[in-house]
Structure 1
Amino acid sequence: MHKDVSSSPEGPAGDATPDADAIPAGLLDYLNRELGDEVGVRRLSAGHSNLTYVVTGSSGAQWIMRRPPFGRLQAGAHDVMREYRVLDALSAAQVRVPRVTLASTDAEIFGAPFYLMERQEGEVIRDVSPEWFVGPARRELVLDLAVALAEIHNADPTRLVEAKLGRESGYLARQLKTWGAQWESIKELPTGRDLEDHTAITGWLTQNYPGDRPAAVVHGDYKLDNVLVDAETARITAVLDWEMATVGDPLADLGYLLYMTPEPGGEVAMAELTGAVTAQEGCPSHVEIAEAYREARTGDQSYWTPEDLIYYQVLGGWKLATLLEVSYQRHLAGTTDDPFFAELDEGVPRLLSVARSLMPTTG
């Protein structure tokens, strides 16, 4: 099974209309010329964000192609060229990323910018455990999630800063401002919701703002179903879905990973999103995940404790709920027919409830 790298919940997704399956002759001509092969293209069907296609050459070589969804999009969302630039900037780092092959901003070719990357072998685990995910494999894979994240944070962020893909300070403050404003905007829609948990979390995050930590490359949506896994070794072969990557506080990634990775016996907010398979017996605890991450980190780090990570877990759930509320409002407006978004009627409040439950009762 290969990863449909459009599975990130980042922002409101466009519709997978019949046009998304149509492959223009001009695109085939362009790919044949640039790749030096006779190729076929088909769309992968899963996912709620950017559209993803598999490109297969007559030689047997395969690539993954990414482009924005069709239809009207939120400003700044679905920037596949940003994702391409991040992957290109990380190509020389010791990070498990696919190698990008080519990119084009010429909308005459495929109606929007797009890029190609090598197709990696591996499978995705989301809400159903594969047969091999038993015994030691459970622990090994989840701990490797922590190690692969540390490898990302060990990479020098300078190239991303120089490419204007992130700034070395102010990340958390911008997150609070951006997503807080996003929520206020959608709350004012005719179908908008004023959810008390969101208000409470926003206040707590603002009051307990921890300040800046040494900056690192931040993935922005790092979780189990955004990696490819080798079933034979239970190791991660590639980290995908880089459209939200930037430079910022690395603990934001770690906290989000913990929020999206329930502990054995822990609470699962939405099984499709929050890695219900990791709540099974034999998977490591949050403390063990955090320690595996710490041991794999190198370079400049500020001291932190497991208790410090609570802030970042709450932040991750709050941000995800905000992103998905945008998609839910698009569902109510009839501008998307993705059935997953209908589930957000109860899903968004559930995500917020779990995030709020992590907050200390005082402070």
Structure 2
Amino acid sequence: MTPRPAPDDVDLAAVVRWAAAHGLPAGPVTDVRRVGGGTQNIVLRMDWAGRDLVLRRPPEHPRPSSNSVLRREMRVLAALAGSDVPHPGFVLGCDDESVLGGVVFYLMEGVAGFHPGDAVQGPCRTDAAARHAAALDTAAALARLAAVDHEAIGLGDLGRPEGFLARQVPRWVEHLASYDRLPGYPGSTLPHVDALARWLTDHRPPDARPGIVHGDYHLNNVLLAPDAARVAAIVDWEMCTIGDPLLDLGWLLVTWPDGAAGSDGAGSDGAGSDGAAPIAGGALAALGGLPTPAELAAHYAARSDRDLSALDWYTALAGFKLAIVIEGTHARALAGQADADTGALLHRHAVGLLERAAAVAGV
């Protein structure tokens, strides 16, 4: 993403004082810029005494769960150290909310990589075979994450894997209904919700071996290496839990670019034919040459011992859940709590997701 000026509300002097007391040099800290296109957290990249570091903290107006979410991210990144899962290296985490006036924060290593939704770099910019290989590596990286023994790395109590799948539909139906309490929201007009809820309930697969679930795995939450056709890091771990890792694969598939297999440079423009599908990795996809969802699934299967026979179910569940999550921004926008244009866009994306999920489920 294009760097932006650092926000005035981050007291970098306080960060430096705290970090110096915990083993980092006291600067100089230079070239500070805000990165990332999301609104959920503030992310600053900087040169810290010659070291490329990134600070991540909750948004300017934190939600009640913002600190607990970041504490979870800190814990997961620290636990993944030494694993073969590509991730930013964890440096330091501040659990003391008083340092930055009520929020926690952490520092991680900067990653040499590019965001697939932004300007494409390196071999992927000019070589369709490199784009194909890098995109396949998103599935391979996910398989490596699913293979991690979460108990052995100290994440045994991160989530509640028992009944994980059975909880999903009731939880998200209730979550959608909760938006009705927001003033100005007229109630959900999303399509296929009831039919998908019934189908998902009736076709739920048996519980599988639990593992780490990233929770929001798609092309916009990875960084690709600028010098090789591979994933440099998986980012944005705020929805991470312990459950059924195949939900991550379903998430990747339901958000995968339309027409991704084209290799003539005329691939997807990052949206479905109606402009509503919430596709990740627009810049990369627009160049063409990406694998099909079937190729992604096969690549994952070749690197995993998990049973993919119910993959359509996980894909439909991912579309169902993500649609409800992003509809929340639309509801908050109608209540004057979020940007109106963003809310309208995400509502269209939610509709597109549910259309995809319904097509996968055949409802």
Structure 1 residue 258: deviation in Å?
A: 0.8
d(CA) in 2 for partners of 1:184, 1:193? 8
- The range that moved more, 134-143 or 183-192, is 183-192
1:231 alignment counterpart: 226
Alignment check: 8 A CA contact 2:176 2:188 kept: no
Pick aligned residue for 2:13 from 9, 17, 25: 25
Q: Secondary structure at the match of 2:280?
A: coil
Identical positions, percent = 34
Aligned counterparts, 1:219-298, within 5 A: 219-264=214-259, 268=272, 270=276, 273-276=279-282, 277-278=284-285, 281-297=288-304
Code of the aligned partner of 1:31: A
2:150 alignment counterpart: 157
d(CA) in 1 for partners of 2:295, 2:182? 43
Pick aligned residue for 2:307 from 295, 303, 306: 303
2:71 alignment counterpart: 81
d(CA) in 2 for partners of 1:242, 1:333? 28
Structure 1 residue 273: deviation in Å?
A: 4.0
CA change 1:164–1:145 in 2 (3 A) is same
Q: With CA pairs under 8 Å and 6+ residues apart, which has the higher RCO, 1 or 2?
A: 1
Structure 1 residue 236: deviation in Å?
A: 0.9
Residues 16-69 of structure 1 deviation map (CA, whole Å, 9 limit, x = unaligned): 99654x425323322344311312444335212122112322x32121111111
Structure 1 residue 271: deviation in Å?
A: 6.3
Task: Give the superposed CA RMSD.
Answer: 2.9
Q: Secondary structure at the match of 2:98?
A: helix
TM superposition score normalised by structure 2: 0.84
Pick aligned residue for 1:50 from 37, 41, 49: 41
Residues 97-139 of structure 1 deviation map (CA, whole Å, 9 limit, x = unaligned): 1211111121221120111111111101116655715421121
Residue 90 of structure 1 pairs with residue 80 of structure 2:
yes
Residues 257-282 of structure 1 deviation map (CA, whole Å, 9 limit, x = unaligned): 11111353687365664344447653
Pick aligned residue for 1:200 from 170, 195, 205: 195
Q: Structure 1: give runs of 5+ residues left out of the alignment.
A: 5-15
d(CA) in 1 for partners of 2:3, 2:172? 28
Q: Secondary structure at the match of 1:253?
A: helix
TM superposition score normalised by structure 1: 0.84
Q: Would you say how many aligned residue pairs link Structure 1 and Structure 2?
A: 343
CA change 1:209–1:129 in 2 (3 A) is same
CA change 1:115–1:107 in 2 (3 A) is same
Alignment check: 8 A CA contact 1:259 1:317 kept: yes
Q: Secondary structure at the match of 1:148?
A: helix
Structure 1 residue 340: deviation in Å?
A: 2.7
1:119 alignment counterpart: 110
Alignment check: 8 A CA contact 2:7 2:34 kept: no
CA change 1:37–1:18 in 2 (3 A) is closer
Q: Secondary structure at the match of 2:44?
A: strand
Alignment check: 8 A CA contact 2:16 2:26 kept: no
d(CA) in 1 for partners of 2:196, 2:97? 41
Residues 164-193 of structure 1 deviation map (CA, whole Å, 9 limit, x = unaligned): 212343221222232221111113544132
CA change 1:128–1:317 in 2 (3 A) is farther
Q: Structure 2: give runs of 5+ residues left out of the alignment.
A: 261-267
Code of the aligned partner of 2:296: I
d(CA) in 1 for partners of 2:68, 2:326? 14
Residue 184 of structure 1 pairs with residue 177 of structure 2:
yes
d(CA) in 2 for partners of 1:356, 1:188? 27
d(CA) in 2 for partners of 1:135, 1:302? 30
CA change 1:233–1:75 in 2 (3 A) is closer
